[in-house]
Amino acid sequence: MSAFFAEFLGTAIVLIFGGGVVANVVLEQTKGNNSGWIVITFGWAVGVFTGVLISAPYSGAHLNPAITIALVIAHKFSVSLLPGYILAQISGAMFGSFLVWLAYKKHFDATKDTNSKLAIFCTAPNIRSYWHNALTETIGTFVLTIAVLYMATPEVGLGSLNALPVALVVLGLGLSLGGPTGYAINPARDFGPRLMHFILPISNKRNSDWSYAWVPIIGPIAGACLASLLFLFLS
């Protein structure tokens, strides 16, 4: 498996689990309707575990443009591979969210709440305050990135044995810092599915909230850059 396809597949797996668990909780007439935040955070964590486990031997399992950028800054990854990795991650996130829509198509049709449909694809804050929302994403991604940097091997990224530790970090972040913004902590995870929401013929859908879309891009990248600079300082 090529490194780029591994990033595509791993990120798609993350979104199948993550978008799928949100769909199960928020869409009408599902088995898991209204089962709550704990279910959502565990679903995302298992998605990260599975995605990292599958892709780590081939690509280092970045699965997140912010992590790839941080690894480049920390001299753990080649900058020449950065564009290809980010493209693979965004494409994988798009494909994973597309499969979630296919799986839950009848429940999308049965659901009237347009915000719930959007929530399956991308994040939104409960209290909209753009710069504070960006700060929340920065803090969350800083914690994720500093953890990953101390796990990552030189010139690659994560190994298969890191799948569970990284998943537990993501679970903890969802439970502790996920409340304000829904913890995107990954630009590809938010932008790719948001683009799919815009493209797909979803019944009775709202706009894709592009005015907020910069927050889960800038916030995570800022947090990742700060974490990598701290890592270099402490090394």
Task: Kindly state the average pLDDT of the residues 187-203.
Answer: 97
Task: Give the tens place of pLDDT for each residue, 129-138.
Answer: 999 999 999 9
Q: What is the pLDDT of residue 155?
A: 62
Output Rg (C-alpha) for the chain, integer angstroms. 17
Report helix, strand or coil for 129: coil
Q: What is the pLDDT of residue 1?
A: 82
- pLDDT confidence band for 90 (50 / 70 / 90): very high
What do you get for the CA distance between the two ends of the chain, in Å? 33
Q: What is the pLDDT of residue 152?
A: 76
The count of structural domains within the chain is 1
Task: Give the tens place of pLDDT for each residue, 157-170.
Answer: 677 778 899 999 99
pTM, two decimals, is: 0.95
Task: Look at residue 153 and tell me whether its pLDDT is greater than 80.
Answer: no
Q: Could you tell me the residue range of the domain that residue 216 belongs to? A: 3-234
Neighbours of 149 (CB within 10 A): 23
Q: What is the pLDDT of residue 235?
A: 84
Tell me what the pLDDT averaged over the chain comes to. Answer: 95
Q: What is the pLDDT of residue 173?
A: 97
CATH number of the domain at 29, please.
1.20.1080.10
* Angle value at C-alpha 183, between 11 and 4, nearest 5 degrees: 15
Task: Look at residue 156 and tell me whether its pLDDT is greater than 70.
Answer: no
Q: What is the pLDDT of residue 162?
A: 81
Task: Look at residue 186 and tell me whether its pLDDT is greater than 80.
Answer: yes
Burial class of residue 29 (count of CB atoms within 10 Å of its CB; 0-12, 13-18, 19+): exposed
